[in-house]
Every structure is written in C-alpha cells, then in structure tokens.
Amino acid sequence: MRRRTLLASVLAAAGAAGLAACGADDTSGASGASDGAASDGGASGGGVLDTVTVKGAFGAEPTVTFDAPLSFSAPEAKIITPGDGEAIAEGDALGMHTAYIDATSGEVLQSSWQGAPAEFLAVSVESNGQEAVSFLTTATVGSRIAMLGQVTDSQGKSYQVVQVSDIVSKALPRATGTPQPTPADQPQFTLAENGAPQLSGTPTTPAPSTTVATVTIQGEGEQTAEGDTLAMHYTGWKLSDGSQFDSSWDRGEPFSFTLGQNQVIQGWDVPLTGKTVGSQVLLVIPPAEAYGEAGQSQSELAGETLIFVADILGAVKAPAA
C-alpha cells in the first residue's frame, strides 16, 4: 500500500514512531510522577529526563520545558502519568498523540495537538527494538510517556528530540463483529485462524468502473472520519490473475495512515470513511482509483484492478481543540 513519506524515524531504541508516519512501500522499570515532571526510573541514559518538566492533563497539549540545549548520549523513556486502561503487550499497536520537541532549541518540531497526524506504534522488537518493547509493556492505555532519542526528517536532517506521547488506545488484533455475506458476484475469500484472508481461487468478478466496497464483518466501534489515523490489516491481490502482491499480515504489523489526506490510493481513502472500527471491508478497485495505467510508484500494478480485504483495527481522532 502506497503511503507518502512525511518524516521518518530512527528512534527505535526510544520507542518512538517518528515525527510522522513513515512511508510504506515501504528501558525498564518506569514509574509515574505526581507533579507532572519526569519521574525516576526506566531510563538507559542516566536520568536526563529528570531535568525535563511535562505539565498538562492527559489528552491536552503538554507543556514541555527544559534548559536548551538538552544534551544526552543515549535514549531514555519514562512514564509521566500512569494510565488506568488496558495493559500493553508485545505485538500490540498503540494509538498515540505525540509532540516532538527539538532538544537543541526547545522548539516544537511537530505535534498532534498542532495539526500533525496521530500515529500507531507497533510494540515490536523488529520495528522498535527490545528496549522500546520492555518500556512500553510497563505502561497502560491512558498513560502519558516521555522519551529521548533521535529522528531524521525526509531530507535526511537529524534531530535530537524530547518526545511526549499520550497512549489513547490499542488496536484490535483483527476485525471483530457480525459477519456479513459476500455477494456472489464479488471475490470470495476465507479467513485463517488468526484472521488473515486468503482468496478462494482466481476471481471471476468483472472489473468495475468505480471502487466497490462490501462490508464483510460489521464492527461495533466508532465510525471513521476524515482526519482519523487508522490502523489496518490487509491483503491485496490482482483481479486479473488472483496473485497476491502485498499483505500486512505477512509483515506481522498493522499498517496506519491518516484518512482523507491522500496518503493512500483513492480506492482506500474514500470507501473507508464512515465505516466502524472492527469492520472488515472487501474492496475491488479499478486502476483509475488505484495506481493508474502508468503505475505511479508501483509499476507492477500499472493498469491492474485490485482486490483488498481490509480490517479496520483502530482509529485515533484529532485531539479536541
């Protein structure tokens, strides 16, 4: 699935997803603080976060102060405010609002509270390292956390940053809700035990002129809306021969993007608006609403009508003004 690169992260050891969602074609023993300042424990860098003050209620834009430039030689991570929500385990995907502050200048580089997208962070050793997993699994949904690390923007410029994130939700592992019948004239598929879809032979569905979206599991969560950051599991096939070309299930982590921001193909951006979290949607997308006749960045999909089975696992809405 194509997604435009905004700012890419190298903050793996600190557990940060990045200054914004990365392109996809592509610490231990933390404790809370009672006064809104960074607390003791849970650090690998010698307690530099003790000099950082974070104020503000969970869900509201944090006020982060420190004497700049803030110097550190290793990532750190701490829980600022413990949450009272679900426990976090390896393999989860966390919906977060995040502010990134330049450690050198003290200026905000990017913030969900100032119009930047929310993000989903995979609690995964492969993506974010063992230190991040060890730290994040000490937190719970509803926690505010702070981290120190380094990020690199899309032009290759690196920044040392203070990251403050509110963990607002945890994505579902698969679509869950009420199964709906798949029309006989649409591609048929089965689900593995873990929920991963498998196409049932070479499809005979005629190529549509516009995207056909069929809800095959009706979820019971909130409705998606433009500006929401979604976490998705999906598999995609070519209608022409039924061959698979992409799958987040195979990668072992959900895919995330911000709905209605032209970060994905049109056949995703529009039909997934107004669906409920927990739903599974079968999409049959013509070339004009996929990668076009020329293929754009996906030359192997030039002129192809595409089939997707997409699970809507979570949605993070923009913070309230």
Measure CA 166 to chain center: 14
Q: Which amino acid is at 267?
A: G
Among candidate residues 80, 101, 265, 312, the one labeled active-site is 265
Among candidate residues 102, 246, 269, 311, the one labeled active-site is 246
CA-to-CA separations, 53 to 18, 50, 64, in angstroms, rounded: 21, 8, 6
Among candidate residues 291, 307, 311, 312, the one labeled active-site is 291
Among candidate residues 120, 189, 234, 257, the one labeled active-site is 234
Among candidate residues 50, 58, 66, 245, the one labeled active-site is 245
CB–CB of 246/233 below 8 Å?
no
Paired residues of 119 in beta bridges: 96
Active site residue 307: no
Measure CA 147 to chain center: 18
What is the residue whose two structure tokens read 């385990």? Answer: 89
The rounded distance, in Å, linking the Cα atoms of 112 and 96 is 9
Active site residue 245: yes
Active site residue 246: yes
The rounded distance, in Å, linking the Cα atoms of 235 and 247 is 4
Active site residue 58: no
Active site residue 312: no
What would the DSSP string read from start to end of 264-299?
Answer: S-HHHHTTTTTPBTT-EEEEEE-GGGTTTTT-TT-G
What would the DSSP string read from start to end of 92-144?
Answer: -EEEEEEEEEETTT--EEEEGGGT---EEEE--HHHHHHHHHHHHTT-BTT-E
Burial 116-148 (b: 16+ CB within 10 A, else e): bbbbbbbbbeebbbebbbbbbebbbbbbbbbbb
CB–CB of 254/215 below 8 Å?
no
Among candidate residues 257, 308, 311, 312, the one labeled active-site is 308
Q: Any idea which residues carry the catalytic annotation?
A: 234, 245-246, 265, 291, 308
